[in-house]
Amino acid sequence: MNPSHSPSLATHTQARDLDRLLHPDEAKQIVLQHAHPLAHETIPLAEAAWRVLADDLIATDDHPPFPAATMDGYAVVASDASPWREVIGVQTAGHPIDVEVTPGTAVRITTGAPVPPGADAVVRVENTESVDDHVIIHQEAVQPGENIRPIGFDLRRGDRLLPAGTLLGPAEIGLVASLGVDPVRVFRRPRVSVLSTGDELVEPAQPLAPGKIRDSNRFSLMAALTAGGAEVIWAGKGPDDQDALAAVLRERIADSDVVITSGGVSMGETDYIKAILDELATVHFRRVFMKPGKPLNFATVGDVLIFGLPGNPVSALVGFELFIRPALAVLSGRREIDRPRVTVTLAHETPPTDRIEYQRAVVRADSEGRLIATTTGNQASSRLVSFVGANALLVIPPRDEAYQAGERVEAILLDPPLPAS
Ligand code: AMP
Ligand code: MG
């Protein structure tokens, strides 16, 4: 990497020059220093999917709580050599009956049912023949414990199963249910306000008058927020008027854990966000050494995080991905914050860059696990189409020569690699 292009990672504690270009890793560090897990709340388990567990979850009982049949068949005494056995009952799941299996007897049993006392094996029904009220076993030898899940086989009382900070996906929430925890304590979700700025913006359903474009950032950011575990409490458009915009922002800051604006952070006449943040908040940085999205403001008011994203749709989403998504993960109490960073092989040449460039790409894995990256065409920051279908951001370091097909570069995986085409 050309040293003149690479600001040092370790200098931000020195002069507080807000317009200094920060390395993206340093900018992220500063954001994370200001992000703290939110409080807990107790909610019904049925509403807890994709929430983050607030407490370590310990098994309070053995599971299964009784020896359970793993097959439909007959519960028997394994060492019993009788040529046939009298069927003395039917044991279905959920309804224990009062019988004891002894040599010469068997109990018909279904999967998941408790194995009756006396029995120490279940012979699968496929290996038996039923004759009147007797059963004949067509099997060489019956092993003790055969087709029985003993007490505590799946979970042992005292097992530490899920640590606090676990995201409750299908398996995790199922485990919470099987431990009998309902309601469940989770981290509160970050409450986020999203504000688009720019007098050129109209609503998607509105016709376009001259000079107008449709607001896309608000919808992109709302989707990214939902995927990032946040609750969008307010989303709207701010006027290109400093006082009115400041009033809206002040109100949003009072109500939110995170406030995100897009647009109005460059050098134009109506780019008021910078000035407003200077007045309302403590600004931590304004510019990041990256492409797209160099002008990116980060400020705080108390624990409220405020991100002033640039207006270009790709810049806004890249800024969200690099700085806001990890911050939301910390606020949400998540243990895992980062996306995987992997090495990928470029499928084609890509032009040189003078800043760390986050190129949108489709990464495919071949059968050997080699990851091949194809970029999504023209990487202009206005071209939202360049983010459509992308599952990775390539991290292209600055240098003077083009990158060649076959070169290996770093990539942030946003979604799993696709299969080879
Ligand atoms: P700005 O950062 O305000 O200078 O805006 C940079 C570019 O992004 C301009 O071309 C804006 O029209 C465009 N832009 C700003 N906000 C939005 C938005 N919410 N949706 C789509 N494009 C936007
Ligand atoms: Mg603008």
pLDDT at 327 over 60: yes
User: Which of 217, 270, 274, 387, when mutated, tests ligand 1's pocket best, judged by the most ligand atoms within 8 Å of its CB?
Assistant: 217
3-state secondary structure of 109: strand
Under the banding of pLDDT at 50, 70 and 90, the label for residue 385 is very high
pLDDT at 216 over 90: yes
User: Which of 194, 197, 312, 318, when mutated, tests ligand 1's pocket best, judged by the most ligand atoms within 8 Å of its CB?
Assistant: 312
pLDDT at 410 over 60: yes
- CA dist., res. 23 & res. 42, Å (int): 39
Under the banding of pLDDT at 50, 70 and 90, the label for residue 16 is low
Ligand 2 center from residue 263 Cα (angstroms): 5
In DSSP notation, 10-25 reads S-TTSS--TTSEEPHH
Q: Which residues have C-beta within 8 Å of that of residue 255, sequence separation ≥ 6?
A: 191, 193, 233, 234
Range of lowest pLDDT (36-50, 238-252, 395-409) = 238-252
Query: Going by CA atoms, what residue is nearest to atom 5 of ligand 1?
Result: 311
Letter string b/e over residues 89-110, b meaning 16 or more CB atoms within 10 A of that residue's CB: bebeeeeeeebebbebbbbbbb
Query: Going by CA atoms, what residue is nearest to atom 23 of ligand 1?
Result: 311
To the nearest whole number, what is the mean pLDDT of the chain? 95
Mean pLDDT of 2-24: 62
First to last CA, the chain: 33
257 closest CA partner among 221, 223, 220, 302:
302
Residue of 4 and 139 predicted with greater confidence: 139
Under the banding of pLDDT at 50, 70 and 90, the label for residue 14 is very low
Ligand 2 center from residue 162 Cα (angstroms): 46
Write the DSSP symbol of residue 93: T
In DSSP notation, 285-336 reads EEEESEES--EEEEEEETTEEEEEE-SSHHHHHHHIIIIIHHHHHHHTT-S-
pLDDT given at position 189: 98
Neighbours of 125 (CB within 10 A): 16
- CA dist., res. 359 & res. 273, Å (int): 27
| pLDDT tens digits, one per residue of 17-71 | 888 999 999 999 999 999 999 999 999 999 999 999 999 999 999 999 999 999 9
pLDDT given at position 409: 98
| The model's pTM | 0.92
User: Which of 206, 237, 242, 262, when mutated, tests ligand 1's pocket best, judged by the most ligand atoms within 8 Å of its CB?
Assistant: 262
pLDDT given at position 239: 80
In DSSP notation, 333-351 reads T-S--PPPEEEEEESS-B-
Ligand 2 center from residue 264 Cα (angstroms): 4
- CA dist., res. 408 & res. 346, Å (int): 6
Task: Work out the percent of the chain whose per-residue pLDDT is above 90.
Answer: 92
pLDDT at 15 over 60: no
Q: Which residues have C-beta within 8 Å of that of residue 407, sequence separation ≥ 6?
A: 345, 346
pLDDT given at position 1: 40
pLDDT given at position 17: 85
Element housing 29 (H / E): helix 24-33
Ligand 2 center from residue 308 Cα (angstroms): 12
Enumerate residues lining ligand 1, CB below 6 A: 196, 198, 200-201, 213, 215-218, 262-266, 268, 310-313
Taking the CA of residue 315 as reference, the ligand 1 atom at the shortest distance is 8
Taking the CA of residue 310 as reference, the ligand 1 atom at the shortest distance is 2
- Angle, to 10 degrees, between the axis of helix 273-280 and the axis of helix 242-255? 50
Ligand 1 center from residue 201 Cα (angstroms): 8
Q: Are strands 282-288 and 21-22 parallel, antiparallel or unpaired?
A: parallel
135 closest CA partner among 106, 114, 161:
106
| pLDDT tens digits, one per residue of 91-114 | 999 999 999 999 999 999 999 999
| pLDDT tens digits, one per residue of 253-279 | 999 999 999 999 988 888 999 999 999
- CA dist., res. 76 & res. 134, Å (int): 12
Under the banding of pLDDT at 50, 70 and 90, the label for residue 421 is confident
pLDDT at 6 over 60: no
Identity at 123, one-letter amino acid code: V
| pLDDT tens digits, one per residue of 330-369 | 999 999 999 999 999 999 999 999 999 999 999 999 999 9
Ligand 2 center from residue 196 Cα (angstroms): 9
- CA dist., res. 275 & res. 88, Å (int): 85
Ligand 1 center from residue 75 Cα (angstroms): 72
